[in-house]
Amino acid sequence: AADAGAAQVVVTDVDPDRLRTARRFGATDVYLQHEDLPLVDVAFELSGATRAAARALDRLDVGGALVLVGSVSPGPDLAVAPERVVRGWWRISGVHNYEPRHLTAALDLLRRTTPQRPWADLVDPPVGLAALGGALRGPATARPRASVDPALDDVPTR
């Protein structure tokens, strides 16, 4: 959001380490989940937790928008009072899947911001396919994602 021009980027999470990472990626304000949050114009809910979506909805300013990104699996319903949506001029939308142009935009973002943003810190060093199972079952690390490079395996293909 910061790299797209947002003047203020507010991030909330239950994990202080992720809040520190958010700062490194342009967050201007960070809050632990239990702290009081300011009102916002746009809220992106990324975890898929219904409680987090309800909390984001409660923090929308007049004319605000809630974008649900992480809710890709069945879960509890989100209770929304239609009167609050109307009086608040809120918009609620969901984002799922992407098109090739989105991948192009993502690669452009990585190229433009790699000098300023520590993208490599978000993934573990790549492993070959033979080591993938261990990487997925292995101990949790500070990085949230495993990465794979099939070229690291010296396994002949059929």
pLDDT in tens, 116-135: 999 988 888 888 888 888 77
Q: Tokens at residue 157, please? A: 């293909």
What is the model's pTM?
Answer: 0.79
Q: Please write the tens of the pLDDT for every residue from 22-81.
A: 999 999 999 998 788 899 999 999 999 999 999 999 999 999 999 999 999 999 999 999
Task: Look at residue 14 and give its three-state secondary structure.
Answer: coil
What is the secondary structure of 57-92 as a DSSP string? HHTEEEEEEEEE-S--S--PPPP--HHHHHHHT-EE
> Does residue 152 contact residue 124 with C-beta atoms inside 8 Å?
no
Sequential DSSP letters for 108-157? HHHHHHTTTS-GGGGBPPPB-GGGHHHHHHS---SSSB--B-GGG-----
